[in-house]
Amino acid sequence: MTGPQSVRDGAAPEGIWAAPGRVNLIGEHTDYNDGFVLPVALPHAARATVRLRADGVLRLHSEQAGGAAVELVVADLAPGTVDGWAKYPAAVVWTLRAAGYDVGGADVHIDSDVPTGAGLSSSAAIECVLAAAYNDLHGLGLDGPALARLAQRAENAFVGVPCGIMDQMASVCCTEGNALFLDTRDLAQRQVPLDLAGAGLRLLVVDTGVKHDLADGAYAELRAGCERAAALLGLAALRDLDPAGLPAALDRLPAELRPLVRHVVTENARVERAVALLDAGDLAALGPILTAGHASLRDDYRVSCPETDLAVDTAVAAGALGARMTGGGFGGSVIALVTAERLDAVADAVTAAFTAAGYAAPRTFAATPAAGARRLA
C-alpha cells in the first residue's frame, strides 16, 4: 500500500477522516486532577483513509514513517505487542474490542502533519482519527466525549501513558474559531470564541525541537504526587481545593508535594480567569496569565527546561503579551500571544536566541483555532 488511493488492491477507500493536534492556552497538568483546561485545535491534523476488512487483519501504513505496511492480527492485539507509531491506531482497535464492540480489521493509511514529539498531541490525533473512522464505519453511535474517553483508554491501557483527557477531548470536540473550556471532572464543555484576528493578535507556536517522552516515568510520578496530596488532604481530587484554602492545605502536606498542589490550584484559577477575559472580549489581557502559568510550571511543577524557558523569556522580551510552554513539558512547544505587527519580530528573536545559545533553530508558526475530528470524504 503506497497511498490513500490504493488502500487495498486498488479498491476505493471507504472514507477519509481527520483529527487535529492541539495547543493548550492555559490549564496544564490539571486534567488528571479533575480540573479545567482551555485547549485549541491546530490546523495540523492526522488524516486516515480507512477501508474495513473482513479477515481480521489490521494493515497500517504511515505516509511519514514510509516503508512497508505493518500487518497485525486484530484478535492477537494486546498491550505491549506493538511498537512505534502503529501502536496508536492498534490501541484504538484493541480498546474498542475490549469495550465489547464487535469490530475487526481494516486497511488504514495515515498521513499527518502534526509535528511529532513537539507536545502538540500528534499521538492523540492518530488515536482520535481512528476512533472517529471506526465509529462511523461500524455505526457505533459514540458521541464526542465517548470517543475521547475511548482514545484516552487506548493511550492509558495499550500505549501505557497515564495521560489525562485533555488532548483527546481537544482533538475530538474543538470547533473552528473557538477554544474549548472543559471541566475534566464531568466533561462539561463550552466553546469560547477566540477571535485572534479580530483583536489584531496572533498565537505564535514555537516547537523547540526538544523531544519529550511522557512514558519515561516523570509524568506518571507527577500524577502520583498529585493523587497522594489529594488523599492526604481527604479530597477526591486537587480540583476540590480552592485558592482560599490553599495556605492551610499546604501546611498539612510534606514539603515535596506543596509546589505540585500550589501549581494545580493556581492553574485552575488561571483557566477560570482566562475564560472570563475571553468572554469579556479582552484577549490581550490573557498575556500575563500565560506568563504566570509558565512561571508556575517552571518553578513549582518543574516541567520546563532551558529551551522552553529561553523561548518564553525571549518572546516576552521581544514584545509578546505573554508566553508559556504548552502540553506536558520536558521540552515540546511554547505558545506566545503577540500582536499581528510583532509576530515576525518575536519569532525571529526566539530563533536568534536559540542560535546564540547553540540550540537547533526552532520551528515557528502562527496557529488559528481549527475544527476537531471530522469525516472529510
Measured CA to CA, the distance from residue 14 to residue 318 in angstroms comes to 49
Q: Among 193, 375, 376, which Cα is nearest to 283's?
A: 193
Active site residue 167: yes
Q: Which residues of 302-334 are buried (b: 16+ CB within 10 A; e: fewer)?
A: ebbbebbbbbbebbbebebbbbbbbbbbbbbbb
Q: In this complex, which beta carbon is closest to ligand GLA, that of residue 58 or of residue 264?
A: 264
Q: In this complex, which beta carbon is closest to ligand GLA, that of residue 49 or of residue 268?
A: 268
- Interaction site with ligand GLA (CB under 6 A): 28-29, 31-32, 163-164, 166-167, 327-328
Q: In this complex, which beta carbon is closest to ligand GLA, that of residue 159 or of residue 233?
A: 159
Q: In this complex, which beta carbon is closest to ligand GLA, that of residue 4 or of residue 332?
A: 332
Is residue 332 within 8 A of residue 325, CB to CB? The reply is yes
**Cell, residue 25:** 492556552
CB of 302: closest distance to ligand GLA in angstroms?
A: 13
Measured CA to CA, the distance from residue 80 to residue 159 in angstroms comes to 7
- E-state strands within 141-292: 178-183, 188-193, 201-207
Catalytic residue among 31, 34, 107, 167: 167
CB of 9: closest distance to ligand GLA in angstroms?
A: 37
Q: Is the dihedral of CA 123, 126, 130, 131 positive or negative?
A: positive
Q: In what order do the strands lie in the sheet with 374-375?
A: 70-73, 57-62, 106-112, 39-52, 15-24, 374-375
Q: Is the dihedral of CA 195, 369, 320, 365 positive or negative?
A: negative
Q: In this complex, which beta carbon is closest to ligand GLA, that of residue 50 or of residue 210?
A: 210
CB of 165: closest distance to ligand GLA in angstroms?
A: 6
CB of 31: closest distance to ligand GLA in angstroms?
A: 5
CB of 319: closest distance to ligand GLA in angstroms?
A: 27
Residues acting as catalytic residues: 167
